């Protein structure tokens, strides 16, 4: 389902955005880069893309890629309906949405589930860091159960699994990746851009700043040994983005997070069949039990008509229609008046 690389008349620069104002080392920045690369490699006309986001650090990122694409940085948790409405205006446009885990799985849960259920054709990326970055590190709905954060205490809930939520809402394209695995991220985005339907990509994207589990190694609480946590600290030490080297399908890779905790990335096997929704659910459930983060294209079904397909719309974009097409003639009104007399 991935398109071959095409000869493009655009340079990579044509896909760039403004300089990022996110933290140095934030996973979100690396995802922006891959969106740029994916669009470049597909040779998409930048004007044919529309960007959407909610509110959060993640939702700021559409400013940092595809300057020549329209975009709407909307409301917290409400990206879904905004994108849906816009994409009816000209159905030849590609929608790329970037949301956060708080934005999608906490406040935005309802909108997300219903957008997916409608099979609205667009790419829906969740930059998933388990916290609310922009409001300074509270738990989001994807935070691990038992996670302890300074100020917030212990998280008592099991995390929302965004990929599983998408599957259960009958998504037609579901993938998971890790921000530090740029090649996979890029390939999945390219595949998603080529899919006619909702394409959900849940990307684990570490927050360098607020994964400050109290007392863990490298936590920016400045070392237990010194017994001197910097209270109400506003200091964010510069960090590097976490990157993994390319690794094999089917293998497992350990990744150390900024707070010192370990994450087990597992790439889907080479022969995994992503057209079986049932398998996808099973493998996710499996991964949960094994504490793996399973990455790759989990599910795809290109057969289901997209929402737009069900609407019998003309080729010509609705937003270019003339008064002649939009306002019935006066004889029609005469008929109506007669009918109501």
Partner 1 sequence: MKAQPQDIINDFCITFATVNGSGSQTANNTILRALFKMGIPISGKNKFPSNIQGLPTWYSIRVSKDGYLGRLEKDDIVVCMNPASFENDLAYLNPGGVVLYPDDFKQTIQRTDISAYPMPVKALSRSADISPALRDYIANMVYVGVLAWLLQIDLDEIHQALNHHFRGKQKAVESNFSVAREAYQWAGENLKKNDPYRVERMAPLDGYIMTDGNTAGALGSIFGGVQFVAWYPITPASTLPEALIEFLPQYRKDPLTGKNTFAVVQAEDELAAIGMIIGAGFGGLRSMTATSGPGLSLMTEYAGLAYFAEVPTVIWDVQRVGPSTGLPTRTAQSDMTMAHNLGHGDTRHVMLIPGSVTECFEFGWMAFDLAEHLQAPVFVMSDLDLGMNQWMTLKFEYPEPPMDRGKVIWEEELEKRIGSWGRYADVDGDAIPYRTVPGNLHSGAAYMARGTGHDPQAHYSEDPQVWEINLNRLVAKYYSAGDLVPQPIVDVLQGAKNGIITYGSSDPAVIEARDILGKKGFNFDKLRLRAVPFTSEVEDFLRSHDTVYVVENNQDGQMAQLLSQEFPALAGRLVKVAHNDGLPLSAAWIVESILKEGE
> What part of residues 148-177 is at the interface with ligand TPP (CB under 6 A)?
none
Pairing between strand 198-204 and 122-128? parallel
DSSP letters, 195-212, are -SSEEEEEEE---TTT--
Assess 75 for contact with a copy of itself (CB under 8 A). no
Q: Which stretch binds ligand SF4 (CB under 6 A): 19-27, 145-153, 174-182, 283-291?
A: 19-27
Assess 113 for contact with a copy of itself (CB under 8 A). yes
Assess 309 for contact with partner 1 (CB under 8 A). no
Residue 126: which of 22, 201, 188 has the closest Cα?
201
Assess 158 for contact with partner 1 (CB under 8 A). no
C-alpha–C-alpha distance, residues 281 and 283, integer Å: 6
Interaction partner, residue 28 (Mg ion, a copy of itself, ligand SF4, none; CB < 5-8 Å by kind): ligand SF4
C-alpha–C-alpha distance, residues 201 and 121, integer Å: 13
Residue 138 pairs with which residues in a beta bridge? 132
Assess 310 for contact with a copy of itself (CB under 8 A). yes
Interaction partner, residue 76 (ligand TPP, ligand SF4, Mg ion, none; CB < 5-8 Å by kind): ligand TPP
> What part of residues 239-278 is at the interface with partner 1 (CB under 8 A)?
none
Assess 203 for contact with ligand SF4 (CB under 6 A). no
Q: How far is the CB of 306 from ligand TPP (least distance, A)?
A: 26
> What part of residues 163-202 is at the interface with partner 1 (CB under 8 A)?
none
Assess 97 for contact with ligand TPP (CB under 6 A). no
DSSP-assigned letter for residue 56: S
- What's the number of CA atoms in the CB half-sphere (13 Å) around residue 301? 15
Question: 32, 33, 86, 129: which one contacts Mg ion (CB under 5 A)?
Answer: 129
Residue 8: both structure tokens together: 């493009």
C-alpha–C-alpha distance, residues 232 and 331, integer Å: 71
Assess 209 for contact with ligand SF4 (CB under 6 A). yes
Assess 209 for contact with Mg ion (CB under 5 A). no
C-alpha–C-alpha distance, residues 51 and 97, integer Å: 6
Nearer residue to partner 1 within complex by CB, 59 or 177: 59
C-alpha–C-alpha distance, residues 315 and 6, integer Å: 24
Nearer residue to ligand TPP within complex by CB, 40 or 210: 210
Q: What is the CA radius of gyration of the chain?
A: 22
Task: Name the residues that contact Mg ion, by CB under 5 A.
Answer: 100-102, 129
């Amino acid at each position: 389902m991935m398109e071959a690389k095409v000869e493009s008349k655009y340079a990579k620069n044509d896909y760039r955005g403004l300089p990022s104002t996110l933290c140095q080392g934030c996973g979100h920045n690396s995802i922006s880069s891959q969106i740029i690369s994916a669009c470049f490699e597909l040779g998409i006309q930048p004007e044919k893309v529309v960007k959407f986001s909610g509110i959060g650090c993640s939702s700021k990122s559409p400013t940092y890629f595809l300057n020549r694409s329209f975009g709407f940085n909307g409301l917290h948790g409400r990206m879904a309906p905004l994108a849906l409405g816009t994409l009816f205006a000209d159905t030849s446009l590609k929608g790329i949405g970037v949301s956060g885990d708080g934005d999608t799985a906490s406040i935005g849960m309802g909108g997300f589930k219903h957008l997916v259920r409608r099979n609205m054709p667009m790419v829906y990326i969740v930059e998933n860091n388990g916290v609310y970055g922009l409001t300074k590190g509270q738990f989001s709905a994807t935070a691990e159960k038992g996670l302890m954060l300074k100020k917030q205490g212990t998280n008592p809930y099991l995390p929302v699994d965004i990929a599983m939520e998408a599957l259960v809402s009958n998504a037609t394209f579901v993938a998971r990746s890790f921000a530090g695995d740029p090649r996979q991220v890029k390939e999945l985005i390219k595949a998603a851009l080529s899919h006619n339907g909702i394409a959900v990509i849940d990307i684990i994207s570490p927050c360098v700043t607020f994964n400050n589990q109290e007392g863990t190694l490298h936590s920016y609480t400045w070392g237990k040994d010194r017994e001197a946590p910097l209270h109400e600290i506003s200091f964010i030490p510069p960090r590097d983005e976490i990157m993994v080297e390319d690794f094999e399908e089917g293998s497992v890779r350990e990744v150390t997070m900024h707070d010192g905790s370990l994450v087990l990335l597992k790439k889907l096997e080479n022969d995994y069949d992503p057209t079986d929704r049932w398998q996808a659910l099973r493998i996710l459930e499996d991964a949960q039990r094994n504490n793996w983060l399973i990455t790759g294209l989990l599910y795809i079904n290109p057969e289901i008509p997209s929402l737009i397909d069900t609407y019998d719309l003309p080729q010509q974009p609705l937003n270019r229609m003339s008064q002649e097409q939009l306002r019935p003639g006066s004889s029609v009104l005469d008929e109506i008046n007669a009918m109501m007399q």
